Amino acid sequence: MADIMNLLSICRRAGKLTLGMDEVKGTVRSGKAYIVLVTKDLAERSKNEITRICEEYETPLYEIPESMYDVGTSLGKVYGIMSVTDAGFAKAAKKRLTSTSPK
């Protein structure tokens, strides 16, 4: 799914992509995250933790079909958790992904 990685790359260059567990939790708690994205190979414990936070703050959670390695290749750093902090980018990403939460 090259187009989701292209979108995330553009989103990162625009400064609207947050990477890493602690940073993403901060954007969710502050209400700045429109969606949270996790890679297909994220550790189950981390996935459970971010799922609980997203449910608590009613933030949609999506799984991307890429691995952390793929994210690293595309974005320059290996991460398994990301949040999009722009409504337009979030809407575009939602069109390309399948939700893992009922939001």
Task: Give tens-digit pLDDT for 4-55.
Answer: 899 999 999 999 999 999 999 999 999 999 999 999 999 999 999 999 999 9
Structure confidence by residue, pLDDT tens digits, 50-77 = 999 999 999 999 999 999 999 999 898 8
Rounded Cα distance between 55 and 12, Å, is: 24
For residues 90 and 35, is the Cβ–Cβ distance under 8 A?
A: yes
Integer Cα distance of 57 and 9 in angstroms: 26
- Cα(45)–Cα(17) distance, integer angstroms: 22
pLDDT grade for 102, boundaries at 50, 70 and 90: very low
Structure tokens, 68? 């952390």
pTM: 0.89
- Sign of the Cα torsion 76, 80, 83, 89 reads positive
In this prediction, residue 97 has a pLDDT band, given cuts at 50, 70 and 90, of confident
* Res 3: pLDDT: 83
Comparison of pLDDT for 15 and 95, the residue scoring more: 15
Q: Is 9 helix (H, G, I), strand (E, B) or coil?
A: helix
